[in-house]
Amino acid sequence: MVSNECLLSTAGITSPFIILFLWRIVQLVLGVLGNSEAASGADIENQPSLGIRQELDWPQGPRKIAASPILNLASCLYPSLAYIVSREVRSHRDGYNVEPQSNHETFHNHAQLMGYGLILGWLGRHTLQSAGPLLLIGLAVYWLIAVNVFYENCEDHVNHSVSDDGNTSLGNLDVYLVLSVFIPATLMWIDGVPFLRKFLIRTSPDTPLLSFRAQLAYVAQALVVGSFHLITYLCTSFHFHHYWVGLLMGSFCIFPTRLSLAFFFFGLHMMIEGISVWGADAVMGEDGGDWMESDQNWRTAVCLFTITPVLSFSVLDLIIVPLCLRRRKTPSDQA
C-alpha cells in the first residue's frame, strides 16, 4: 500500500510536467485558432520570416562552449556539490539506509558526476540559456529537494533499475511515473523539433527553432545512443539504473522551452540522487556494487578526459582574460 507521503512526493515531481503540458496544450489551441483566423488558412511555417527567424545550432562548437566559462564551471561543479548535500542529508535521516562508499568509489562518483554534468551542460546549453539565473537556481533547489524526498518516501514502491535478468517488474506507481513523464516528453519533442512541429504545430516566425543541421545531429544522437544500448543488451548483461535514465533524459532535453527545462533538471537530479545513494553502479557487465565493477574505470576515464580540458580552459579564461584587460590599460591610454 502506497503511503500518503509517497503520493505527495510523487505529485511533487509529476505535477510540474502535467501543469506545463496542459498549459502548452492551451497555448497551442489558442494559437492555432488565432493563426487560422489571421492567416485565413495560410501555412505560417512556410511564410517568409523577414529575417526574424532564429535558427539554433546544436550541439555548440568549442568556441561557443569556451565563451561561457561560468556556465561550464557551474555545470561541472554543481552535481558534485549536490552529491555531497544529498549524502549528508539522507545519511542522517532515520529509517533510510545510504549505501556506504569507500574513498575509491567516492572519487569515481565525483569524477563521473562532474563529467556527466559537463556533458549535460554542453548538450542542454540552449535549454539553460533560455532561463535567467534566478530561475535556474530555483529549479535546482526545487528538484534537489523533490527528487530526494520522492525516493526517500517511495523507496519500497518503485524500481531502481531495469535489467535483462528477467526479475524486473513494474508496479502501478512505476506505470504512472512512466506515463506522466512520457506523454509530456512527447509534446516536448514535437514542440522542439521543427520537422515534427511543421506538420502539427503552427508557430510564429520569431520562435527560435533548431537548424536543419541541429535536427540531423539530434537524430544521430538518438541512433547512436539507441544502438549502444541495443548492442550492450545483446552482447553482455545490462542494468538500466535510474541514475543512467536521468543522464539519458537530460541529454535529450535540449530545447529552449519550459517543458524541456523541467525535464532537464529532473533528469539531472535523478542522476545525482542515484549516484549519491547507491553509487555509479555498472551499466554493462557485472554489477557487484563496488568500485571495481567491470565498466567503472572506463566511465571514469571518459569523464576525466572530458573534464580536464574544459575546466582548464574555463579557469584560465576567468583568470587570464581579466589580467590581459588590465595590462591593456597602460598609463598612456589612461592619459
- Residue 162's DSSP bridge partners are 240
116 is written with which cell numbers?
Answer: 556527466
Cβ–Cβ < 8 Å for 139, 261: yes
| Secondary structure percentages of the chain, helix, strand, coil, to 5 | 70, 5, 25
Print pLDDT tens along the chain (335 aa). Answer: 678 888 899 999 999 999 999 998 887 777 655 554 444 444 444 544 444 557 888 988 877 887 788 888 899 999 999 999 998 887 776 656 677 888 888 888 898 899 999 999 999 999 999 899 999 999 999 999 999 888 888 877 776 555 555 555 556 777 888 889 899 999 888 888 877 776 666 555 556 778 888 889 999 999 999 998 888 778 877 777 889 889 999 999 999 889 999 999 999 999 999 899 888 877 776 555 444 455 667 777 777 777 777 777 776 666 766 666 666 665 555 54
Angle among Cα 286, 292, 294 to the nearest 5 degrees reads: 35
Cβ–Cβ < 8 Å for 154, 13: no
The backbone torsions φ and ψ at residue 325, rounded to the nearest 5 degrees and listed phi first, read -65, -35
- Residue 56's DSSP bridge partners are 210
> What single-letter amino acid sits at 75?
S
* Single pTM value for the model: 0.84
- Residue 210's DSSP bridge partners are 56
